[in-house]
Chains A and B, each alone.
Chain A
Amino acid sequence: MITFKKGGVHPAENKFAKQYSIEYFPLTKQATILLNQHMGVPAVVQVQKGDKVKVGQLIGKGEAFISANVHSPFSGTVAKIDQAVDISGYKREAVVIDVEGDEWLDTIDKSEEIKKEITLSKQEIIDRIKECGIVGLGGACFPTHVKYMVPPDKKVDYLIINAAECEPYITADHRMMLEKTEECMVGIQALLVASGAPVALIGIENNKKDAIEKMSQVAQQYPNIKVCPVKTKYPQGAEKQLIQALINRRVPNGKLPIEVGVIANNITTAYSVYEAVQKNKPLIETTMTVTGKKLEKPHNFRVRIGTPLNEILQSIDFPENTGKIISGGPMMGKAIAEVNTFVSKGMSSLLLMDESESKRDRVYPCLRCGKCIGVCPMGLQPYILQAFSELKRYEDCESYGIMNCIECGSCQYGCPSFRPLLDYIRTGKAKTGLMIRNRKK
């Protein structure tokens, strides 16, 4: 079984929600759409208070190079343009919409019928991806169209579709592959046209046997798409690790995958690209797993962006003694500091942790056991990066390669002293990055 070479861990999979098919979450009464749901510069608001909007209408324009458009997922009236909290509790600019009915823009094809034939040209597809505000739905929310602006001296050999879904608990991509197989394939075809790559490889962890089977079956119709099962090991779904596993190329330090002739996209991103290219539907929905050990019936929701999280939490059989809610997976996700927030583009999971498992253990001094070094998929020395970050020795952080850290959290997962390694490394990485940028100026 193919896999990446260095490090990695295997946490308990806990994919409780994999048997539950995707449910469409009912429309809310008042939606709040944040304008910085993606990496980069927040979108610039395009509507005013009192404006009537339809589903799919542009409400925020991504004007900067790394930015993405934001569209209205609901029809109704703009109640206000205000500050709303994101999951961290910080206030961000947002558009509040009073929902009235469900009226879509005429340009969007609402039908369920699968449109297989791609009529648009390469540039038209990239423009459509940009217009529709597609971002990477694997978690980082990097604007997808930026990935396809390939420098003229580079050629794309492989399009890699990331369906590893290596985070425990999350099953959103898994369900999308099972239920929207054809659509995903057409989306991949569109991405192949956009990238100019001759072949697409889909990396799926082999704990999703049914998905591998279904995808391989459908992929037979498409000679340029190949399904590649990969070993179940965290962080298999990290971009650089998956590239190494599938084609054995190593992305150089500080460079993007395009450096080795690869573009990598998530499978749900491919589905969104299908909707954008074939149906002209912007990114207004996300697939979200709501799960937890104590939750009797986990869910996979297809939910419109801007829906209050509270409504989702109320709709489920909310377990008592929930101590922590995590947006994303347990390894890389962020604990929610404020529940009165709203669904945004990259939110792929809500994980409810019981009170007993939500507290961290007491931190002990470093044993120098070297476990963190053994599991680091990037070959770094997390214990020393943590110490340097804590001591604010950012030059040393840089020389020990802190900028190569992919923040997967494998080091912290296995630490016998329960040291908050990743917490310090993240701070150190941010500060070191700032230091390097200031030096270049």
Chain B
Amino acid sequence: MSTNFILIAAIVLGAIALISAVILYFVSKAFKVIEDPRIDEVAQRLPGANCGGCGFAGCRNLAEEIVKRESLEGLGCPAGGNSVSEEIANYLGLKADQSEPKIAVLRCNGSCENAPAKSSYDSALTCEFAATIFAGESACAFGCLGYSDCVKACKFDAIHIDETTNLPVVDEEKCVACGACAKACPRKLIEMRNKEKKGRRVYVACRNTEKGAVAKKNCTVACIGCGKCAKVCAFDAITIENNLAYIDFTKCKLCRKCVTECPTHAIHECHFPPKAEKPVEQQVETEIVNN
């Protein structure tokens, strides 16, 4: 009796499966979407983080675009870098754009010490909202608010708020320069700059365009737009606009003359060996030779 039931069930289900399989087979034939198989291959070679750093919604969208355009010009994966681009180029038989590896750099040094708080804020802890209601605890309308929108935006766990300074710090090992943090920052404080040799970088850590005296009131390390750095720069890499200096990283030869010249210490250097006993001029020459 019971075996009979099992048999009937098996036959009925088997028949349904068979009929469905036949229908599905014909439907899949009739409505087949022909997709370039190379898209899958290219997508596989991308990191798959869907960070959006390339300008597309996700990795697959970039793969589609690369295959569609049949060229890698202007298309690349900032997270994967040159190695990924080359791999894709090899697979597709194209030429890869060689781009300098980049890293996120915070252009503000308004730490708790340099830019002391004048008011306090305990509303929703997001920079986006805070920026709409007030200038910031330090009263600098250009500086970092410190409510970690950049940290939330990072998919690579590469940016964290330092507890003593209340400023975000970029983890150089993990940062892939996808640019998500730069987009998230309502004050546009994060810039993607070239990584340079040994991670040596020189940049102005300030975005305050107010007049010098006003800017210094709220922050001791603000750029006052005095122009000393621009004068001392031998490579024409520094421009002053709206009381603010900017160092063009494509022109900068990392001589660090501006760093010593800056009266407010707004220009930062990183990963340079500690100042040698050698006079500055000599060091410049050796740096240039090295480059």
What residues of chain A have their CB less than 8 Å away from a CB belonging to chain B? Answer: 83, 85, 88-91, 334-335, 337-338, 359-360, 390, 420, 423-424, 426-427, 430-431
Contact = CB atoms under 8 A, between A and B. Distances in A.
Given A90-B135, A91-B210, A427-B132, A420 B141 contact: no
Contacts, number: 50
Contacts of B141: 89-91
A146 to B, nearest CB: 24
A427 B119 contact: no
Contacts of B192: none
B139 A337 contact: yes
Contacts of B139: 89, 337-338
A393 to B, nearest CB: 14
Interface stretch (B120-128, B159-167, B234-242): B120-128
A80 to B, nearest CB: 13
A280 B214 CA distance: 40
B169 to A, nearest CB: 24
Contacts of A91: 141, 210
B123 A423 contact: yes
Contacts of B132: 426-427, 430
B135 A427 contact: no
A431 B149 CA distance: 15
B134 interface: yes
A90 B136 CA distance: 9
B33 interface: no
A424 B134 contact: no
A423 B119 contact: no
Contacts of A337: 119, 133-135, 139
Contacts of A423: 123-124, 129
Contacts of A83: 210, 214
22 contacts: A83-B210, A88-B135, A89-B119, A89-B134, A89-B139, A89-B141, A90-B135, A90-B141, A91-B141, A334-B133, A335-B134, A337-B133, A337-B134, A338-B135, A359-B122, A360-B122, A390-B126, A423-B129, A426-B132, A427-B124, A427-B128, A431-B128
B210 A427 contact: no
A431 B132 CA distance: 11
Contacts of A85: 135
Nearest to A431: B128
B126 to A, nearest CB: 7
B129 A426 contact: yes
A89 B124 contact: no
B124 A88 contact: no
Given A337-B139, A338-B139, A427-B128, A88 B133 contact: yes
B248 to A, nearest CB: 28
A424 B129 contact: yes
Contacts of B119: 89, 337-338
Contacts of B118: 338
Contacts of B210: 83, 91
Nearest to A360: B122
Nearest to B140: A89
Contacts of B128: 427, 431
B123 A88 contact: no
A335 B136 CA distance: 13
A423 B132 CA distance: 10
The 10 closest A-B pairs by CB, nearest first: A89-B135, A423-B124, A337-B134, A420-B124, A427-B129, A88-B134, A360-B122, A337-B119, A423-B123, A89-B134
A129 to B, nearest CB: 30
A334 B139 CA distance: 16
A418 to B, nearest CB: 11
Given A337-B119, A338-B119, A89 B126 contact: no
Interface string B28-55: 0000000000000000000000000000
Contact of B136 (A89, A390, A430): A89
Given A90-B135, A337-B139, A390-B126, 11 more contacts: A88-B133, A88-B135, A90-B134, A338-B119, A338-B134, A360-B122, A423-B129, A424-B129, A427-B128, A427-B129, A431-B128
A424 B127 CA distance: 11
A422 to B, nearest CB: 9
A426 B135 CA distance: 17
A88 B141 CA distance: 10
A360 B120 CA distance: 11
Contacts of A90: 134-135, 141
A337 B135 CA distance: 8
A424 B132 CA distance: 11
Contacts of B214: 83
Interface in B3-61: none
Nearest to B134: A337
Contact of B123 (A89, A360, A390, A431): A360
B204 to A, nearest CB: 21
Nearest to A386: B124
B133 A420 contact: no
B183 to A, nearest CB: 11
Contacts of B122: 359-360
B234 to A, nearest CB: 35
B212 to A, nearest CB: 14
Interface string B137-150: 00101000000000
B143 to A, nearest CB: 11
A423 B119 CA distance: 18
A430 B132 CA distance: 10
Contacts of A424: 124, 126, 129
B52 to A, nearest CB: 12
Nearest to A338: B139
Contacts of B134: 88-90, 335, 337-338
A424 B129 CA distance: 7
Contacts of A89: 119, 134-136, 139, 141
B239 to A, nearest CB: 23
A174 B214 CA distance: 41
